[in-house]
Structure 1
């Protein structure tokens, strides 16, 4: 348990500070929280940070951390360019364990800074790739799914589960549309690699600028390639715009599936209304979409607690970003830090690699199994939460895959 952790004076990296001045024998562990809470990623970043806050609340009010309190040091980084100064500021305060970051470009910058400054950075939500020379598994740990895996899961789902339910067709032709940035490229590459590895037909790939004013050229490029299935890696605004442009152009598709930061988000479905019906999403689940019967007793208990607490505090259902933030911060606060022995970065890294949680242990349905340095997927969690959702009515989506989490069977609904 955390109360047994040694906090030697030499370990200033995490601010284990005795509150002796107040006559309090408890210790405070300050953990950085680097999230975009303003700017284009501010909405999702704020939601993810809310989940982290609730994980700290739980840890601070349970016996597992008796005698120790986790204090969050939040830093708003709206853009990747702000990350170096933000990490410098945290390091100057003695903080060396940092959570973040929701956005892939910010995550990549944080991984670089953690490697250079010898900090420990735990990614709770972003899925984009980091640089190969970053210290993955030593200074950077991705607890959320890898973006490439979301792309792989999407193509495999369509080919293995949906294809037979579609109207009569020959070999499916796949198109891959993606925002041309670290997030989009990473997720799209997973889809493209799977198409190639499985010998499927690629109609074309369609990178685009998320800040474009007119998305009809993207829809025109897609239409000219004649894919049967369109895979998309997008953010909400551009994802909605591309979908609207495709509908306006009467682009004929048998199926379409997207990933995190767009197709899975309620704002995406609300903006499209009936034009979202029949679309699929490969991503992390919302709290309402998790089948509690597929969780372990610990996972069920935490899902029930955090769902109610989130809605009571923020007066809205808990979405995927918030649930991911909570589940992954909970894994760190409740399982990894107590196993660390002391709070030096090497000890915390060793604990992150050694702690194994089965699938379903966390509130979002995930578990914990971080790949060690030297692995192809070094630093990545091999047991993240991932589901396939389907928009079945205007404003309504349900989980349809995998079976343990499915709320209803997969159905091939006609697209607008």
Structure 2
């Protein structure tokens, strides 16, 4: 490998990188070099566009066919590092192909190199729950992905400037590319499954290459000539409030008896700071009872329903016993191995907000498939005391 990054470009993460995917014979030229940009007074490198070459098998296909003088027109290169090819067996790496590709570009002279860390996922690391798309989905153990990213950065940090994480994850299992053309680049759900891969890759790479720039993969999710369409994932992916897939239930198993509890700290509605804690249930049950609940103004009450069954959908009956003596019945399905949240203070599956005895509520939950139910509650009592608490239900009334 060559020396430290030949002309390192220390760019902000928001840098917009444009790499031109070309055929073997079409070489892309740099639009604006660093010296030209500074001469033009454009020192904000986050606004740069870099036009480079994404060519597969550069050493064996480009080098023998294109004269050196013409190859040297290209100053920025993108190199795929396919996980399954680099680590065909766990902890046994073969870097020979990637060394050859990078060395060929260094020999020609380059201003920057971007590595694209991407699928196919090695067979040994695949998660069978993703079915026939497991080859391009998150691995069974995310620690294996972290280790791969760390090894890549450790080996190539001296000569690489950028690391892109996954090839076009916006083309996921339900994108228009899949429905229209049968093409996918991410076998998971990008809204929920991609961010952990990006975060882990960032951590692993920065540990080995602190000055390397980690770039998010392309999140464009539809095929449309309008560049403003299909871009909503860019905002949604990093929206900590509205991003889907953030509600989670947990099952803990141990070979020997243990005690498990779940502390939780929050800023509810970006306003109410507090925390609460709950012991776990030792088993799912068909019935859960909650004596306390409130949907008066300033109180938000929820039911969290977990169905741990791997195959059966739970048909759940929710009975609300209100302080005015009325009873309201609701039903909802909870899919296998999933969680559902019911807003008791909402008008759908709940009873709505009521500033009277109707808003004082107890709840019974029944399911033919055993489930786990708990009741979080958040409040701003009397407009003065903000907080929250949480409780598992009782599985039966008692004398």
TM superposition score category, shorter chain reference: under 0.3
For normalisation by structure 2, the TM-score amounts to 0.28
Bigger Cα Rg: 2
Structure with the higher strand share, 1 or 2: 2
- Of structures 1 and 2, the one scoring higher in RCO (CA 8 A, sep 6+) is 1
Structure with the higher helix share, 1 or 2: 1
For normalisation by structure 1, the TM-score amounts to 0.27
